[in-house]
A and B are shown apart, each in its own frame.
Chain A
Amino acid sequence: MSAVTVMTSKDEMKAVGTRPGSRDEGARLGFRLTLPAQILVLFISAFPLLMQLYISVTDWSPLSGTGWWNAWSMWNSFANYTDLAADARFWSALKRTAIVMIVCVPAEFLLGLALATLFADDFPGKRVFYSILLMPMMVVPAVAGYMFFMLFQSGGPVNDILSSLTGSPVTIAWLSDPTLALIAVMVADIWQWTPLMFLILLAGLVGVPEDQIKAATLLGANPWQRFVTIVLPKMKTIIIIALAIRVIENFKIFDTLYIMTGGGPGVATETISVYIYKLTTQDLIWGYVAAIALAILVVLSIVAVFAMKRMARAREVAA
């Protein structure tokens, strides 16, 4: 990044870049070599997408008594999409998903960044803490869900700790209160995914050139100034990647949450994934599910494209 390179002569530079046809030939060979893989990828991504698109404009369900390929007979002229626009439960699930994301992702980011900053320096017992810190990420989400389900029972450890802290018995019914249940599932998500944020951000942090930080110090910058003017700008790309990964993942939040609350009480913790799951397994209206899933995919794709654009620009800036 900051390595100093000197071209000995312009001719030498030219010679590397423009050997006649070499780049084109390389590209062609690369294309031929990856062709089988590309066909495979195209098939496994394009086929389900087209199938989904097809089903989403029909009333087809597994109980229709006919294969999905015959769904054209149940064509309902985009009724699924108009229903979707009017589906209050869908919009509230979407809003809830957004709330969870707006709370969890920044919390995970800030915690992860703080931990990464801590772990960028040496301290006694660092390796042990490092291992412990990464453990939540390795716990199977379903197990984590069950763990938090137990923790948040009204006779569970969370209330026990609160009791001993306040001195009077606390029996909060965490998972049956609409607001507290949402908080509980967010706590579980933050617990499980902060380590990933930490890991990615630590990788970015140790990649910040040491000598530039030293140079800033010698020029009189205090630790906070160094962090803001050198460390953060250098980490921009990796921060965007970390946020993009977590935004996309968090949007699909399901397993831990479903085991803890099943989307309840009522629909108080029902996110998009939970709603889709219920529609799929309980209501069995697959045409409608396909329409929702497609709509979500479009939204997420827009987010991803935006993130990639920012990333490309950040890379240009930070290089």
Chain B
Amino acid sequence: MSAIHLQNLVKKFGDFTALKTMDLAIADGEFMALLGPSGCGKSTTMNMIAGMEEPTGGKILFGERDMAGVPMGRRGVGFVFQNYAIFTHMTVRQNLAYGPKMRGAAKAEIDRRVGAIAEMLQLTPLLDRKADRLSVNILQRVAIGRSAIMEPAIFLLDEPLSNVDAAFRAVMRTELKQLQRQFRQTMVYVTHDQLEAMTMADRIAVMDHGVLQQVGTPLEVYNDPANVFVARFIGAPGMNLLKGRPVESDRGLVVDLGPLGVTPPLPVELAAAMRGARGEVLYGFRPEQATLVQNGQGLAMPVTFVERIGARTIVHLGQGEAAVKTVFDNDVGLAIGDTAVIAPTTSSVRVFDAATGLAIKAG
């Protein structure tokens, strides 16, 4: 087991900067997800941790140890590839035994370790099967077992579920999380799928355009996004953001959204944090945290689309800059052309500085 410290990590490919600068401390035994859209630098970061790529600048420490110049075979890192990279010309047993064998372990020792790891991963009945015709969850277990047998301090997983269809992903997520609990290794998990990150990770590092946007527990990044990018990226659908100006009213500080009218008053602490600042802001609330109201105490918007996804119904309101999505119960009685009056739950409202995109924090 080992903590990982990334200090001022920079990676450039020629003129292209894949990673501008990255500081991240991953605790021993922690499950950290690197989450972001493709091209955000998450895979580059992971490849540098694994030693497949050399950083252009900055340091990678495993515990206290500087990894500069340590070749990838000597880092004690387990790596699970996107497509698992199972040695298809070998049996499951040969796959599992590969690491110890290459390091020259004795035959009896190899057999013992393969037996133990196979038992743990429930691969024992499959040991002598060829690895080219296994189902994807078995492949995942073989890939993990093949790395785990080396007892790596750190496990890196590069989008291991991206080739799996949606129905099966839930099964694999559960399995993976259970395995991590068993092994208690430090795990770094790269994904573009927020659901994977939210469900499995202890903490999530959200990245975009080679810059770390926010690090926090799943609930922290969901409830209190640090900036507009995180607010929009996390959540399905993402947070609604409406441009407006803060205005003082007799009910307290409200946001004037122009043609949409004014919002309900902001929470007191948030209003306090915003006093003095009078520039444009983005008024944000989660689609799940708006309610339909009958009287005029909300935002009146035309319904433009209704998506019934089963458990819930996503209602699209307004158009262009003034578009929001809201999530209601599945039997909500709204249809295209209706006018809905919605009121965000006061405590769930977040406000961002429109110029910098940063969250304005209460208190």
Contact indicator A318/B102 (Cβ below 8 Å): no
A215 in contact with B103 (CB, 8 Å): no
B150 on the A face (CB < 8 A): yes
Partner of A220, one of B81, B83, B85, B103: B103
With A8-B165, A216-B102 known as contacts, the answer to whether A2 contacts B86 (CB < 8 A) is: yes
Establish whether residues A3 and B83, one from each chain, have CB atoms under 8 Å apart when the complex forms: yes
Residues of B in contact, count (CB < 8 Å): 33
Per the bound structure, the CA–CA distance linking A6 and B84 in Å amounts to: 14
Shortest CB–CB separation between residue A166 and chain B, in angstroms? 45
The listed residue (B52, B102, B163) touching A4 by CB distance below 8 A is B163
Could you list some 12 contacts between A and B, CB below 8 A?
A: A1-B132, A2-B86, A4-B84, A4-B164, A209-B85, A212-B86, A216-B98, A217-B73, A218-B77, A220-B99, A225-B102, A229-B87
Known contacts A214-B52, A319-B132; A221 and B73 CB within 8 A of each other: yes
Asked if A230 is an interface residue, CB under 8 A from chain B, the answer is: yes
Assuming the A-B contacts A4-B139, A225-B102, are A318 and B165 also in contact, with contact meaning beta carbons closer than 8 angstroms in the complex?
no
**Bitwise interface map of A from 287 to 319 toward B, beta carbon under 8 Å scored 1, else 0:** 000000000000000000000000000000111
Distance from B138 Cβ to chain A, minimum over Cβ atoms (Å): 11
Q: Is A246 an interface residue (CB 8 A)?
A: no
Inside 8 A of B79's CB, which chain A residues have their CB? 214-215, 218
CB distance A215 to B85 under 8 Å?
yes
Are A212 and B99 touching (Cβ within 8 A)?
no
By a CB distance below 8 angstroms, the chain B residues around A229 are: 87, 98, 102
Are B85 and A212 in touch, CB under 8 angstroms?
Answer: yes
> Shortest CB–CB separation between residue B80 and chain A, in angstroms?
9
Classify chain A: how many residues form its interface, as a range: 20 to 34
Contact A219 B146, CB 8 Å, known A6-B135, A6-B168, A229-B98: yes
Does A169 count as interface, using CB distance less than 8 angstroms? no
**Whole-angstrom distance between the Cβ of A45 and the nearest chain B Cβ:** 36
Does residue B45 face the partner (Cβ distance < 8 Å to A)?
no
Q: Which residues of A contact B107 (CB under 8 A)?
A: none
**Considering the complex, which residues of chain B in the window 247-291 have a beta carbon less than 8 Å from any beta carbon of chain A?**
none
Query: 7 tightest A-B contacts by CB?
Result: A211-B85, A219-B99, A215-B85, A221-B102, A4-B163, A233-B89, A220-B73
Residue among B72, B87, B139, B146 with max Cβ neighbours from chain A (10 Å): B87
- Measured between C-beta atoms, what is the minimum distance from A295 to chain B in Å? 38
Cα of A222 to Cα of B37 in the assembled complex, Å: 35
Instruction: Compute how far the CA of A2 lies from the CA of B81 in the bound complex, rounded to whole angstroms.
Output: 11
Q: Which residues of chain B have C-beta atoms less than 8 A from A230's C-beta? A: 87
Q: Which chain B residues border A3 with CB–CB below 8 Å? A: 83, 163
Cross-interface CB contact of A2 among B74, B78, B85, B98, cutoff 8 Å: B85
Tell me which of B50, B85, B132, B168 has the highest count of chain A C-beta atoms within 10 A of its own C-beta: B85
Asked whether, in the complex, the Cβ of B85 is within 8 Å of the Cβ of A217, the reply is no
B72:A217 contact, CB within 8 angstroms: yes
B50 to chain A, nearest CB (A): 7
